[in-house]
Amino acid sequence: MNQNGELQPRPALDPRLSWRAAKRRDLDAWAGLIARTAAVEQPVWFERRADLEQILESKNNPVVANTILGFDAEDVARAYGRITKNRDGDKAIGSGCVDPEWQGSGVGTGLLGWMEQRTKDRFAEDAGTAGHADEAGDARDAVPRPRLRLHMEQQHQHQAALFAGAGYGIVRYYNEMHRPLSQTVPETVLDPGLELVTFGPALHEPVRLAHNAAFRDHWGSEPRDEEAWGFVVNDPQARPDLSGVVLDRSTGAVAGYQLATHDAEAALSRGFREGYTELLGVRREFRGRGIAQVLLADAMRRFADAGMDVASLDVDSENPTGALALYVKMGYAAVNRSMAWDKDLRPAAP
């Protein structure tokens, strides 16, 4: 990387493109690339300009080191890659896309190679070592095993072929679930000692702490610090008015929460208005009291009152709290599936 923050081309990156870290001046080109790709691939969700503006502000994952954009000779963005990692996390998360006109030409393979190398470098940096994760000796022993995780929807078989060919394996399945709001909302009762309120700024930090506690026993989950939580509460699609929090009346502690979003642009392409439960959690000491059912029923009523057609959410198919069975009981049905793919990036010892 030079003093201007421009990444020097690695051999694996396609030399037909000019590569550099994302900058504010690239916002329109960056968002345009993602939108062009989404128009062809039709993902359930994709990053828009407002999301990219948030990414540019990240201090934990600064774009100068953790993003890359590839531009053609006409300065049109054709490929994008990014990794994120918590400092003490056991994995990095990779994401990105390749312009449909350039897919199948090796650009994605090179981009994946960049994400893998950046992941190894990042693990070494976070461990406070001077070497890289694939160097021999003391640095090798000091650096945790680097691992990169990628997510994809089941219909994107070109991504599956790329991941499998690069040595990744599926480690988890997730179900996207929908519930028509034309159906009657299930009757639920909240314990007298609990209170249901609307989510708001005063609850941002208490709910963050409750979320970290509630998801401590969930596969793949890592604690969210203030910056990561800021991505949730300041999400351009966040709808606090459609979100609920259950409080313990005697202590004021957060017992459970349902945080919702609504993607108005997606409603135009998908043909229905969707209230999406971004996060749903109940702290373990409050489980077994029907709080999740109350929160889901409350979400359905809020969504319906706001003119939504469908309540939706995603769930880990092996969720340890039995969430999948709960959602089915509440009238949700699986409509799509996605996968998490992992690759261990630390070479075997000689």
**Fold of domain 184-330:** Aminopeptidase (3.40.630)
pLDDT in tens, 148-172: 999 999 999 999 999 999 999 999 9
Query: Binning pLDDT at 50, 70 and 90, where does residue 323 land?
Result: confident
Nearest to 263 by CA among 221, 300, 303, 226: 303
CATH 3.40.630.30 boundaries in the chain: 18-173, 184-330
User: Is the pLDDT assigned to residue 136 strictly greater than 50?
Assistant: no
d(CA 261, CA 236): 9
* Interacting residues of 157 by C-beta distance below 8 A, sequence separation 6+: none
Contact between 275 and 215 under an 8 Å Cβ cutoff? The reply is no
Query: Binning pLDDT at 50, 70 and 90, where does residue 350 land?
Result: low
Query: Binning pLDDT at 50, 70 and 90, where does residue 268 land?
Result: confident
Q: What is the pLDDT of residue 269?
A: 86
Residue range 240-245: mean pLDDT, rounded? 98
User: Is the pLDDT assigned to residue 306 strictly greater than 80?
Assistant: yes
Q: What is the pLDDT of residue 143?
A: 61
How far is residue 257 CA from its own chain's centroid? 19
d(CA 295, CA 327): 12
Q: Which segments of the chain does DSSP mark as H helices, in order?
A: 27-41, 49-56, 63-66, 107-126, 138-142, 157-165, 204-214, 226-233, 264-270, 291-305, 323-329
Percentage of the chain with pLDDT > 90? 85
Percentage of the chain with pLDDT > 70? 91
Helix 27-41 vs helix 49-56: crossing angle, to nearest 10: 130
d(CA 80, CA 19): 9
Nearest to 281 by CA among 243, 318, 250: 243
In the predicted model, what is the mean pLDDT of the chain?
92
d(CA 33, CA 13): 18
d(CA 325, CA 341): 24
CATH architecture of 18-173: 3-Layer(aba) Sandwich (3.40)
Query: Binning pLDDT at 50, 70 and 90, where does residue 197 land?
Result: very high
